[in-house]
Amino acid sequence: AQSVAQPEDQVNVAEGNPLTVKCTYSVSGNPYLFWYVQYPNRGLQFLLKYITGDNLVKGSYGFEAEFNKSQTSFHLKKPSALVSDSALYFCAVRDPSDSWGKFQFGAGTQVVVTP
Amino acid sequence: DTAVSQTPKYLVTQMGNDKSIKCEQNLGHDTMYWYKQDSKKFLKIMFSYNNKELIINETVPNRFSPKSPDKAHLNLHINSLELGDSAVYFCASSQGGGQGNQPQHFGDGTRLSIL
């Protein structure tokens, strides 16, 4: 069975500072990993994914994430946070060996960027 | 152009009523999903259809019945609504079904409130 954990309910950061949102996962094989962002009263928007290859993946709005197989982590990062990055962030995992497997979402991390 | 559209956006109704939510995607995807997001923002898969065939059916009360008339549409009918059904319901779509590595695209949700 697959699972994903986001250990922080909320991350507070000052504008211009680096932003990190943590995610760890558990799957039986090699995972497909995704990050999504949700703004108030909107659906989730895809930011980036890791399927295979380079451990550092770049996505939308200046975000990037690093896949670390030994630590089973896929932390989301942004070098310089903006107030407009304040939103709810979800990590998701899918096990490609599980036929018609579902996306498993983390509980979400609220990011608050202060001016 | 809205990629995944849900109607209605808001739904306020009395306990015991029956209601439907409609979803349409114009992305040409072969797989569609229904999720429930509770008041703590936790996202839970309910159903998934691939080319009109039900492939994921989570532990959901049988008062909830999905229907997919074609692969661009996935509707959700709820009978005998209960207070605990109050939530935001999201429709999503993706290409490639369970073993695909493509991200999901979400609608903006239907906010269901039971009085």
Residue of B nearest to A33 (CA): B101
Distance CA(A111)–CA(A90), nearest Å, equals 11
The residue behind tokens 């229907």 is B67
Question: How confident is residue B98, by pLDDT bands cut at 50, 70 and 90?
Answer: low
| pLDDT tens for each residue of A39-88 | 999 999 999 999 999 999 999 999 999 999 999 999 999 999 999 999 99
Q: Which of B41, B97, B107 sits opposite A108 (nearest CB)?
A: B41
Topology, domain B4-96+107-114: Immunoglobulin-like (2.60.40)
Distance CA(A47)–CA(A66), nearest Å, equals 13
**Which pLDDT score, from 0 to 100, does residue A2 have?**
83
- Chain B positions touching A103 (Cβ under 8 A) are 45, 104
Per-residue pLDDT, averaged over B77-82, amounts to 97
> Could you tell me if B88 and B76 are in contact, meaning their C-beta atoms sit under 8 angstroms apart?
no
Residue of B nearest to A42 (CA): B108
Q: Which of A36, A43, A102 sits opposite B56 (nearest CB)?
A: A102
C-alpha torsion A51→A57→A61→A63, nearest 10: 110
Enumerate residues 6+ apart whose C-beta is below 8 A from A73. A22, A23, A24, A25, A66, A67
> Nearest CA to CA, how far is B16 from chain A (Å)?
26
Question: How confident is residue B107, by pLDDT bands cut at 50, 70 and 90?
Answer: very high
- Chain B positions touching A41 (Cβ under 8 A) are 108-109
Per-residue pLDDT, averaged over B72-87, amounts to 96
Residue B96 has pLDDT above 90, yes or no: no
Q: What is the DSSP string of A43-103?
A: -EEEEEEE-SS-SEEE-GGG-EEEEETTTTEEEEEESS--GGG-EEEEEEEE-TTSTTPPP
Enumerate residues 6+ apart whose C-beta is below 8 A from B22. B6, B7, B73, B75
> Could you tell me if B5 and B110 are in contact, meaning their C-beta atoms sit under 8 angstroms apart?
no
Across chain B, mean pLDDT equals 93
Domains of chain B, by residue range, sit at: 4-96+107-114
Residue B2 has pLDDT above 90, yes or no: no
Question: How confident is residue A100, by pLDDT bands cut at 50, 70 and 90?
Answer: low
Interface touch A100/B106, C-beta < 8 Å: no
Q: Which of B41, B48, B108 sits opposite A42 (nearest CB)?
A: B108
Topology, domain A3-114: Immunoglobulin-like (2.60.40)
**Which pLDDT score, from 0 to 100, does residue A98 have?**
75
**Which pLDDT score, from 0 to 100, does residue B99 have?**
66
**Which pLDDT score, from 0 to 100, does residue B100 have?**
75
Judged by DSSP in three states, B10 sits in: strand
- Determine which helix (DSSP H) or strand (DSSP E) holds B55, and give its type and residue range: strand B53-57
